Structure 1
Amino acid sequence: MNLAIIPARSGSKGIKNKNLALLNNKPLLYYTVYAAKNSHFIDKIVLNSDGDEILEYGKTQDIDTLKRPIELAQDDTTSDKVILHTLKFYKYYENIIFLQPTSPFRTYKHIDEAFLKFQEEQSNALISVTEYDNKILKAFIMSKKGYLQGICNNSYPFMPRQKLPKTYMSNGAIYIIKTDLFLKNPTFFQEKTTYYIMDEKSSLDIDSTKDLKKANTILQSSL
């Protein structure tokens, strides 16, 4: 049995009431709820939010809703705390599928493909990623003694980019983890954490009005 958790805080600095902001005449939250409801591997969906308006919308979508306390709705509240709060009320699910509503182009097919990969590889966790410019490996950081050192090692900064390994960035769209392992060590990065690669468009994360306009343009151009 797999539990999908959708976190949707009411406060947002970039876009006011972001999770209900309209994207092609539908609330941003709609796209993640739709993807979760159409996945073949999700048995229960719970929307965790501090906002009454968000929770009311969740009820219209025929999914479970859970109100979080105000102390878990701050700018610095981390995902692990939201998940642990949810698991107090939703027990006995083997896996957690964590879906942030700021990824409207993550579809149910992405969720299903990611879960199959997680399952087939017998992984403990999965994080969705997008390919990232490997030039980052040529960067330096400052050592404790105030000298330069390579961000990864001292060879990469001087290697041709073509010889550097590929790099990937978490896109925030899909996180999967075994529940028992998360309860023991509440982080998505576990031993045997695999990945699911998504393209740039599917990885678009809505953080600002500029992102929202870009997403609207993409949707309208596809009609």
Structure 2
Amino acid sequence: MIAIIPARGGSKGLPGKNIKEMCGKPLIAYTIEAALKSKSIDHVILSTDDEEIAAVAKKYGAEVPFMRPAELASDTAMAVDNYIYTIGRLEKEWNTKIDSFVVLQPTSPLRIAEDIDGAVELFNARNADSVVTYVKEAHPIFWHKKIDENNKLEDIFEGTIANRQELPITYYPNGAVYVFSTEMIRQKKYYTDKSYAYIMPRERSIDIDFIDDFKYAEFLMSNSKDKK
């Protein structure tokens, strides 16, 4: 199976984050190395519009068979369109059919090879259309509220459940691993009735958007017993 690492150059929340140094390596290196260690991944493909990111990724072992077109790297571009383009071009250049693939965002540096393998194994075992990594909510979502322009609290969910013990356990996607069937993605869907969750621990579920996320991930990595 191939792994696509999407890493465009125009990050707004944290400029240059994909190659920003974390514990002695560029951020993207951790995702490349995890993919290369994975038993499930045969090719690690970088999708980028940025020559500097491409050069760094190649140094750490990723393949960069072509650059991403500018129209698929804008702020308004849809990720699914880039996946469709990348898979289609690989199929054409390799003269082969790609039935499924993995997406690994470089903003999840604490994800390990075993997480990738676990998600792929679940995908294959369930004959799934998609498997997405999720993490348990730390705070009950049923306590969430909307706040209007006057700071008045408004309910999102009907009814009130006061005790944490009465609340159902909920999960949210952590952005670490996606396994997709090509057929589903070409329909521009991420989920069907054959979609499943692979649960990851909170300590490996950091998704970096802003500098605070970066600093927290760096702290966790620097204190990890299993430094990469």
Residue number among 162, 168, 173 corresponding to 1:170 in the alignment: 173
Residue of structure 2 equivalent to 1:117: 122
Residue of structure 1 equivalent to 2:55: 56
**What letter matches 1:76 in structure 2?**
T
Distance 1:151 1:189 in 2: 24
What's the offset of the Cα at 1:150?
Answer: 6.3
TM-score (norm 1): 0.87
Q: Which 10-residue stretch deviates more, 88-97 or 48-57?
A: 88-97
What's the offset of the Cα at 1:177?
Answer: 1.2
Q: Deviations over 1:102-121 (max 9, x none)?
A: 00000111101111122222
Please tell me the root mean square deviation across aligned C-alpha atoms, in Å.
2.2
With over 3 angstroms needed to count, the CA separation of the structure-2 counterparts of 1:80 and 1:196, relative to structure 1, is same
Equivalenced residues, count = 214
Residue of structure 1 equivalent to 2:212: 210
What's the offset of the Cα at 1:207?
Answer: 1.5
TM-score (norm 2): 0.85
Q: Deviations over 1:141-195 (max 9, x none)?
A: 79xxxxx99645x34x346432222111100001111112221x22221221100
> Which aligned pairs between 1:1-223 and structure 2 lie closer than 5 A?
2-65=1-64, 66-91=66-91, 92-133=97-138, 135-139=140-144, 151=156, 154-155=158-159, 157-158=160-161, 160-183=163-186, 185-222=187-224
Q: Does structure 2 conserve the Cα–Cα contact (< 8 Å) formed by 1:126 and 1:188? A: no
Partner-residue secondary structure (3-state), 1:201: helix
Identity of aligned residues (%): 33
Q: Does structure 2 conserve the Cα–Cα contact (< 8 Å) formed by 1:176 and 1:188? A: no
What's the offset of the Cα at 1:64?
Answer: 1.9
With over 3 angstroms needed to count, the CA separation of the structure-2 counterparts of 1:139 and 1:222, relative to structure 1, is closer
What's the offset of the Cα at 1:95?
Answer: 1.1
Q: Does structure 1 conserve the Cα–Cα contact (< 8 Å) formed by 2:161 and 2:167? A: no
What's the offset of the Cα at 1:30?
Answer: 0.3
Residue of structure 2 equivalent to 1:145: none
Q: Which 10-residue stretch deviates more, 58-67 or 90-99?
A: 58-67
Q: Which 10-residue stretch deviates more, 59-68 or 19-28?
A: 59-68
Distance 1:182 1:222 in 2: 36
Partner-residue secondary structure (3-state), 2:9: coil
Q: Does structure 2 conserve the Cα–Cα contact (< 8 Å) formed by 1:139 and 1:151? A: yes
Distance 2:73 2:141 in 1: 33
What's the offset of the Cα at 1:24?
Answer: 0.6
Structure with more of its chain in strand, by fraction: 1
Distance 1:60 1:134 in 2: 40
What's the offset of the Cα at 1:134?
Answer: 5.8
